Amino acid sequence: MRHEPRLLGFRLRLNPINERRYWNFRNNRRGYWSLHIFVLVFVLSLFAEFIANERPLLVSYDGQLYFPVLVGYPETEFGGFFPTDTDYHDPFVRELIEENGWILWPPIPYSYNTIVRDLGTPAPSPPTWQNLLGTDDQARDVLARVIYGFRISV
């Protein structure tokens, strides 16, 4: 005997035609699992700024917490010289912050338009642990571009 269709634990009341369509889709394993994968990737793409971003998620400096992923801070906030937005990939700025605190980076520390400056080979480079899908011809991280691009294309 078939169970009644459910969505998020709630019983769906469908007319007989739609119930048959539902069970046909549910019995199509490839389609059913493709929907699950699509929803998972879509939800991940909604949080792209927290997965792939050139700004840290969290910075602790002199006992204070900063959230650069949400707010732009000037370099002078961390002991730098310029009142412009902080470039957290700059070795001087990193050293200033790490002397008096720590930095929590997203899993992919590059945004869709960030140029990766410390490549071991000329761009486009093959996949490495630093760039899981490699870089394109302009030295931008391909995985970060795929994550942001998926959100735009959907």
pLDDT digits (tens, 9 = 90+) for 33-59: 999 999 999 998 899 999 999 999 999
Q: Report which secondary-structure segment, H or E, holds 38.
A: helix 29-46
- Residue 19's φ and ψ, nearest 5 degrees, are -65, -40
The Cα–Cα gap between 89 and 148 comes to 20
Distance spanning both ends of the chain, measured CA to CA = 37
Judgement on whether residues 39 and 75 belong to the same structural domain of the protein: no
Residue positions counted in the chain: 154
Q: Are 99 and 62 in a shared domain?
A: yes
Q: Does a structural domain hold residue 124? A: no
Helix (H, G, I), strand (E, B) or coil at 48: helix
Domain containing 38 equals 6-46
pLDDT at 10 over 80: no
Domain presence at residue 144: no
The string of pLDDT tens digits covering residues 72-129 is: 999 998 888 889 999 998 899 999 999 989 999 999 999 999 888 888 888 888 888 8
Spatial separation of the C-alpha atoms in residues 33 and 81, rounded to whole Å = 53
What is the C-alpha separation between 88 and 85, in angstroms, rounded? 9
Would you put residue 62 in left (φ > 0), alpha (ψ -120 to 50) or beta? left
Query: Do 64 and 97 belong to one domain?
Result: yes
Beta strands in 10-142 (DSSP E): 10-11, 58-61, 64-66, 101-104
Whether residues 97 and 70 fall in one domain: yes
Tell me if 22 is assigned to some domain: yes
Look at the chain and report how many structural domains it folds into. Answer: 2
pTM of the model: 0.75
Residue 119 lies in a domain: no
- Regarding whether 71 and 41 lie in a shared domain, the answer is no
Per the domain annotation, does 121 fall within a domain? no
Looking at the predicted structure, is the pLDDT value of residue 1 above 70?
no
Query: Measured between alpha carbons, how far is 63 from 60 in angstroms, rounded to an integer?
Result: 6
